[in-house]
Structure 1
Amino acid sequence: MGCAKRFPCFVFFVAFFLSTTISYTQTNNENRSGSWLVLHGNNKIHENWSIPIVGILRHHDLFEKHEFAFVRTGVSYKLNESSTFTTGVAFLSSKNYTGSQEFKNATQFWVYEQYTLKSKSKTNIISHRWRLETRWKKSTNDLHINNRVRYRFQYIKPIYKNVHIKSFNELFLNLESPLFNQNRFYIGLGQTLSPSVKIDIGYLKNHFKNDDHDVVRMSLTFKTDFTKREVAEFVD
């Protein structure tokens, strides 16, 4: 049995290429970041209801100097086959290695509302996501409340059997001055490992007002269906 059947070999090649490239840029620019590890799950509990969960570990260097840990959950309601409404909470704990004011040493608690719209064809998946967030950000002796909106456009295209290209761009805007918060652009390769599990790895550019972060982003996506005997079921 070949390596491609036993494990997604392209992951090793892409990880090596991205880590080498970003390690080089880090030595030439101290405003650069290293890696994001993302776990994203959706757990169906009713015909139209599900519980999402997202966890992120971010490192200033590749898998070194922990910068922030993030967890988000809530409840989602499927309005129809193409749109979903979600509301929930999130928690973030951050340390600052880069000088970015967005991720200075602090803890954050969020409440969010989100609307997602998807369109699928035989060759691609396009999705739009709008989110409103209210964030309580606490540093040493300071508590600040921030409201912001986010819009993400995402495109997924199969390229060979169970391998696909995934790309998205997400714009963050504050509801108070300054208007611009940040922008994230991602492009990478993904693979479907089973009907309920996907992975992807690629390059993420996180742009702030005064600095940029280059990131190797690796994610694992899983979906479960607790309404059936077979718990794991793939749902696009």
Structure 2
Amino acid sequence: MGNNKQFYHIVFFAAFFSLINTIVHGQDNSENRSGSWLVVDGNNKIHKNWSIPIVGILRHHDIFEKYEFAFIRTGVTYQFNDASTFTTGIAFLSSKNYSGSEDFKNATQFWVYEQYTLTSKSKGNIISHRWRLETRWKKNADELHINNRIRYRFQYMKPIYKNIHIRSFNELFFNLESPLFNQNRFYIGLGQTLSPSIKIDIGYVKNHFSNSDHDAIRMSLTFKTDFTKNEVAELAN
């Protein structure tokens, strides 16, 4: 029986990634680009209620080719309880030949952001809501443009077999000036919990803008460190 379950999940994985490959490589329109996202997402606990998040993203127009942008974000998070957190911080983005959603090409961006996250768990399923306000300074050559936008992300995670899970999210972006709509980002993928502090995910993401779409394979590594534990504190000294 166990071998049958394992076989079904291997078939499921194969079918899922075949579907991703078909979607990503089936784009004929040059406006509908297929690419890749590499994401590292970490949370570093420094106190009972305080932690430092860090996120790094490397994105390509085509799969692992034609560099699009590099992004890094950090800040400080306060945990009110098991269900809710508040984060504020900064981010930096450097892009090259970026098109589809931005006014500028070959631009750099500096962000200040605030976000609130609400999470609920039931029978292993995890549902989270994230609201974020961003102020972005976007510079191209001698031009500087300031943009304020809000984002709402709904995310769902469900274990499907032992340490394997399915993850999906949809995130809406709105400008606080005209035009109101900025973009929509949808993701669905499979992941594996390697340890209580490390997860990996791979899946399909569609970035929809007003005039174009960006389809990509998204691969992520999520980790947690706890510097309040004695063994971690000793290693850091």
TM-score, normalised to structure 2's length?
0.88
Preserved contact between residue 111 and residue 135 of structure 1 (Cα < 8 Å)? yes
Shift of residue 96, structure 1, vs aligned partner: 1.9
Task: Report matched runs for 1:201-212 at 5 Å.
Answer: 201-212=202-213
Q: Runs of 4 or more off by more than 6 Å in structure 1?
A: 9-12
| Aligned mates of 1:178, 1:190 — CA distance in 2 | 36
* Counterpart amino acid of residue 144 in structure 2: L
Instruction: Find the residue that maps to 1:231 and give its secondary structure.
Output: helix
* Counterpart amino acid of residue 62 in structure 1: I
| Aligned mates of 1:82, 1:66 — CA distance in 2 | 37
TM-score, normalised to structure 1's length?
0.88
| Aligned mates of 1:138, 1:39 — CA distance in 2 | 25
Deviation readout 1:163-194 (Å, 9 max, x if unpaired): 01100000000000000000000000011011
Shift of residue 11, structure 1, vs aligned partner: 11
* Counterpart amino acid of residue 42 in structure 1: N
Q: Please state if 1:140 is matched with 2:144.
A: no
Matched length = 225
* Counterpart amino acid of residue 23 in structure 1: H
Tell which deviates more after alignment, 104-113 or 13-22.
13-22
Deviation readout 1:126-178 (Å, 9 max, x if unpaired): 00000000000001221000000000000000000000110000000000000
| Aligned mates of 2:104, 2:21 — CA distance in 1 | 22
Q: Please state if 1:174 is matched with 2:158.
A: no
Give the corresponding residue for 2:5.
none
Distance 1:194 1:102, change over 3 A: farther
| Aligned mates of 2:103, 2:191 — CA distance in 1 | 29
Task: Report matched runs for 1:15-54 at 5 Å.
Answer: 18-19=20-21, 21-25=23-27, 28-31=28-31, 32-54=33-55
| Aligned mates of 1:231, 1:219 — CA distance in 2 | 24
| Aligned mates of 1:34, 1:178 — CA distance in 2 | 26
What root-mean-square deviation, in Å, do the aligned CA atoms of Structure 1 and Structure 2 show? 2.4
Give the corresponding residue for 2:197.
196
| Aligned mates of 2:12, 2:85 — CA distance in 1 | 31
Distance 1:167 1:99, change over 3 A: closer
Q: Please state if 1:67 is matched with 2:68.
A: yes
Task: Report matched runs for 1:99-110 at 5 Å.
Answer: 100-101=101-102, 104-110=105-111
Instruction: Find the residue that maps to 1:101 and give its secondary structure.
Output: coil
Gaps of 5+ in 2: 1-9
| Aligned mates of 2:164, 2:103 — CA distance in 1 | 34
